[in-house]
Structure 1
Amino acid sequence: MDFFRRMYDWLLSVFWATEMDVTMLGLQNAGKTSLLRVLAGGEFTIDSIPTVGFNMKRVKKGHVTLKCWDLGGQPRFRSMWERYCRGVSAMLFVIDSADVEAFPVAKEELHLLLEKPTMEGIPLLVLANKSDLPEHKNVEEVNEALDLDSIQNREVSIYGISVKRETNLDEVMKWMIKHAPK
């Protein structure tokens, strides 16, 4: 039986494998690198080093391979976001849902990026991270703070997550796989 399962998996990977490019962006300290580490099968660590420039990892789930670009969120790297978002299957915008003071800057940076003609039509998943913290804002509050309802020309979804507790990460993977090229 094991032989047939391996043969089936091999056939899937050769003939029906799908690769999709995904970018993870957001302000610094939102949890992008930790999210990528956990999605790739690693463990959450509290002492993550901020991404300088970008980082890329492949995450394989079933017959879909996600090539995930983790983009630095410091001001000096935000001008690179458009370059790494062009032509991707989906964008994940990660926000620290407990850092209310960062919401206006996050909103401004997100909307500036989405106004670019090269970004039109790319699905957007907003991830309100750190839902395990007592001071976090819920999905409705983050949606309103980022003015997501005003975004046109693309599908927009939002999930509350906790990378630390791995809350809703299965839903994030399902969303990404749903947006894989057919």
Structure 2
Amino acid sequence: MSSSDKHNNKSLNHAQHPFSQFMNSMDRLFTDKRPGKGILQSLDHFFGSSATARGFQTELSENEAGYMIVAAIPGVKKEQINIELLPQAVTISIQHQETAEQINQNQGLFHRHHSSGVTSRTIRLARPIDDQKIRASHKDGVLRLFLPKKKGNQIRIEDS
């Protein structure tokens, strides 16, 4: 195949798919990892890059005595945690703040980025819990909650 045939074939291919070049450009826009960052990486940075900004993992286990909730929240201080108790649910909220500064003395640029927000998870429980006996601990980026089940009153059935 001569070089003129290749050029004509290439022109024909673009004519058959007029949006192919546009789609390739869009793909590069969303996946480009050059120093300028792609748009998705920029959005992640803008809306928060910490794990708590995107959510946190929780595990729920149950036995006869109650429920155990374990939440992985690395880098979060005890003061940032709020736990709200409902009759058959618990909500764990994390207040997060992030400040980043960039200084480029060669170009005389200074950039400061500040973001804050709240991330929360609500865990629903099958039975009511005894709010007087709840225990919570936070150590090494792990929050543990023990929520004892509320015991109902037994009703004695009488013979008629």
Common fold by TM > 0.5: no
Bucket of the pairwise TM-score, normalised by the shorter protein: under 0.3
Give the TM-score normalised by the residue count of structure 2: 0.25
Q: Which has the higher contact order (CA 8 A, sep 6+)?
A: 1
Q: Which of these two proteins has the greater Rg computed from alpha carbons? A: 2
Higher strand share: 2
Higher helix share: 1
Give the TM-score normalised by the residue count of structure 1: 0.23
